[in-house]
Amino acid sequence: MISENILITGASSGIGEALAIFYASNGAKTLFLCGRNEERLSIVADKCRLCGAVVEAKVLDVTDRQQTAEWVQACDKKAPLHLVFANAGVSTGAETCAHIYQTFDTNIFGVLNTITPAIEIFKKRKDNTQKIIAVTASVAGYHGLPACPSYSASKACVKAYGEALRESLKKDGIQVNVICPGFVRSRITDKNKCPMPFFMEADKAAAIIAHRIEKNVGLIAFPFAMRLAVYALSILPNCISGFIYGHLPHKV
């Protein structure tokens, strides 16, 4: 069953944009979308409205804890939320001090700033309506990757926290799904000059994510071949995984 009222952060491009359009095209009633780029966000919102959804779009930096909490709470008052996607994320690029902090602020604290107020709202709701949290991690979170240390570490944190929350919040009737995609078309991957095996278009990724959330899969990691590869690397002794990483193409 498609959720009716959905909140998505990082909705102005990539997976967030594709999710918004997918849900608007498949019966969602109200979409609350946020992003940092007003022009791109407005375009996405208009596409979703053409599909028949009611859309409220807000330019927001999810690293601002107070503003993000106030936005989540305001959205729920307008239309009780059923599904909250903490999807906003950034790549690190050069591992400079500023970029490292920005990566952790957005990819970790941006997630916390989004889902913490949502969880509080869901816990207070005693009816049987949908209460779903979805967080976007990455297959890069399976093991620390030397090509992107900050990014993989931030996604590992989100993956571990989401998996723990899934079990912790079951008693409250809250479903938690952790999304670990491989290479999916986005503004991040558009900048990559390194090989991207099993590359996937964003609309296909969004359909996979939405269908598996409906089934309450829990850990939504795809494509399977990529998931298998990173899992295998994660359980190898460091001396072996380090040797393999040393012979892989470096990210440019």
Query: Where are the chain's structural domains?
Result: 5-246
Closest by CA to 103, choosing from 88, 116, 115, 89, is: 89
Q: How many CB atoms lie within 10 A of CB 30?
A: 21
Whole-number pLDDT of residue 191: 63
Whole-number pLDDT of residue 252: 44
Q: Could you read off the pLDDT tens digit of each residue along the chain, which spans 252 residues?
A: 788 999 999 999 999 999 999 999 999 999 999 999 999 999 999 999 999 999 999 999 999 999 999 999 999 999 999 999 999 999 888 999 999 999 999 999 999 999 999 999 999 998 889 999 999 999 989 988 888 899 999 999 999 999 999 999 999 999 999 999 988 876 665 566 655 666 789 999 999 999 999 999 999 999 887 778 788 778 878 778 777 767 665 554
Whole-number pLDDT of residue 200: 87
CATH class of the domain defined by 5-246 = alpha beta
Whole-number pLDDT of residue 188: 65
Whole-number pLDDT of residue 247: 60
* Separation CA 181–CA 15 (nearest Å): 9
- Only one residue has tokens 């670990």, namely 180
Whole-number pLDDT of residue 23: 98
Whole-number pLDDT of residue 221: 95
For the annotated catalytic residues, the residue numbers are 151
For 18, the enclosing helix (H) or strand (E) is helix 14-25
* Separation CA 36–CA 45 (nearest Å): 13
* Separation CA 12–CA 76 (nearest Å): 21
Closest by CA to 7, choosing from 70, 66, 87, is: 87
The residues, ordered by sequence, that sit 6+ positions from 1 with a Cβ below 8 Å of its Cβ are 130, 214
Whole-number pLDDT of residue 132: 98
| CA dihedral over 117, 119, 123, 128, signed as positive or negative | positive
Q: How far is CA 138 from the centre of its chain?
A: 8
